Amino acid sequence: MARERKDLSTNFTAMASPCVVLVDSSDSLLGEAVGDLVKSEALRIEMKFSRYRPSVVTHINEHAGDAVLVDEESADLLDYAALCYRLSEGLFDITSGVLRRVWKFDGTGTLPTSARVQQALEFVGWHRVRWNRPVLQLAPGMEIDFGGIGKEYAVDRALALVQKRTPVPVLVNLGGDLRVTGLRHDGAPWRVVIEDVDRLGSSAGLLELSHGAIATSGNTHRFLEKDGIRYGHVLNPKSGWPIDEAPRSITVHADTCTEAGQLAKLALLRGAGAEQFLEFEQVRAWCIR
């Protein structure tokens, strides 16, 4: 049995999450280069689609009502978002961010009134968006948010760049959404720790990953509790209310992080029917309630 060599790792913060890049090699120069490559790609995507600083997204949101010309990459993401909206029959909607203003998951336990939710829903709905590539036109007052796709997309993009650069086994982890290039050098899988939802920060289990990606969607970090009922922060864009009986966490394994993340979200959005959805679609997943 070969002695386990410690991987070269690069740690940084991006998309408000801890990120790690592991390189299965003893070449420290390569390890550094790969780490920098992933970090710069992750930051690039974060900056480009950020809601908080001048970016493509803030530009689109500030010009809601006007026709906006977008670049190729943004157009690809919008096409993808449109497809997911259709496939999920409206449950996945990148215009649902507006509901955020109504639901304050700040621990004060205040529930919004029905009227306020209905009001906010006037500005939610991809069907209100005119998207004719490369021109996007939101209705006034609407907003888009790539938060639901961005992190997984960044993982896949970063990994693609790494693979063009080197055949060495690499693991890219951006805040829990991760992907591997393949088996490690010794033919063994990568070992990934799954976070315990009840004791955030401690381990609930170990996953052995030989290929593909895993993405997690969950309710754990932000929620509202009132009268003993936990209102998750995942909102149903059609009703405006939190998804009923959503699992606390869903971890999905698929070939790409984008696919895994989307399946996790679609499952979460189905609330009580999450497991059934995952089973029917034959998804490798782990649901925690």
Partner 1 sequence: MRVQLKATHSAANPGLRRALKIAAAGLLASGTGKAQEVPPDAPSTGVDSGVLYYHENGRVQAIEPELNLSQMFGEDSKLSIGAVGDALTGATPLGAVPSTLPQTYIRPYKVVPLGTPVTVTTASGGSTVVLVPPAAGATTQTLAASTIVPANTYPLDHAFHDDRFAGHIGWEQALTSTLKLNGGLAYSKEHDYRSESANIGLSKDFFAHNTTLDAGLNYESDLSFPIGGTPTPLTVINGDWKGPDASRHEVDAVAGITQVMNRRWLATLSYSYADAHGYQNDPYKIISVVDPISGQPNSQLYESRPESRRKQSVFLDNKIHLSSDVISVSLRGYKDDWGIKSVTADLRYRFQIGQDYYIEPHVRYYDQRAADFFRYYLVAGEAMPQYASADTRLAKFHAATYGMKFGMPLNEGSEFNVRIEYYDQHGNGSPAYAIGQLRQQNLFPDLQAVTVLLGYTYAF
Partner 2 sequence: MKLCTRLALSAIGLAALCISGCASFGAKPWQHDLLAERAMQVDPYPLQSSIDDHIYFSKEASSGGRSFAGGGCGCN
- What is the rounded CA–CA span in Å between residue 243 and residue 237? 9
Query: Which option in partner 1, partner 2, none does residue 73 bind, with CB closer than 5 to 8 A by kind?
Result: partner 1
Query: Which option in partner 1, partner 2, none does residue 198 bind, with CB closer than 5 to 8 A by kind?
Result: none
Q: Is the peptide bond before 18 cis (omega within 30 degrees of 0)?
A: no
Task: Say whether residue 258 binds partner 1 (CB under 8 A).
Answer: yes
Task: Say whether residue 104 binds partner 2 (CB under 8 A).
Answer: no
For residue 140, the minimal CB distance to partner 1 (Å) is 28
According to CB under 8 A, which one of 222, 279, 284, 289 is a site residue for partner 1?
A: 279
Angle ∠(82,87,91) on CA atoms, nearest 5: 80
Task: Say whether residue 36 binds partner 1 (CB under 8 A).
Answer: no
Task: Say whether residue 77 binds partner 1 (CB under 8 A).
Answer: yes
According to CB under 8 A, which one of 61, 249, 251, 262 is a site residue for partner 1?
A: 262
Locate tokens 């699992």: which residue?
247
- Binding positions for partner 2, 248-267, rule CB under 8 A: 253
By CB under 8 A, which span of 53-61, 154-162, 169-177, 229-237 interacts with partner 1?
154-162
Task: Say whether residue 64 binds partner 2 (CB under 8 A).
Answer: no
Alpha carbon distances (Å) from 267 to 44, 76, 154, 229, 245: 29, 23, 21, 21, 12
Task: Say whether residue 49 binds partner 2 (CB under 8 A).
Answer: no
Bridge partners of 199, per DSSP, are none
According to CB under 8 A, which one of 24, 143, 195, 259 is a site residue for partner 1?
A: 259
Alpha carbon distances (Å) from 281 to 84, 208, 276: 15, 22, 8
Query: What are the tokens at 230?
Result: 């936990």
CB 12 within 8 A of CB 19: yes
- What is the rounded CA–CA span in Å between residue 152 and residue 2? 33
Locate tokens 């913060």: which residue?
13
The contact set with partner 1 (CB under 8 A) reads: 72-73, 76-77, 79-80, 83-84, 87, 153, 156-157, 159-161, 163-164, 181, 254-256, 258-259, 262-263, 266, 279-283
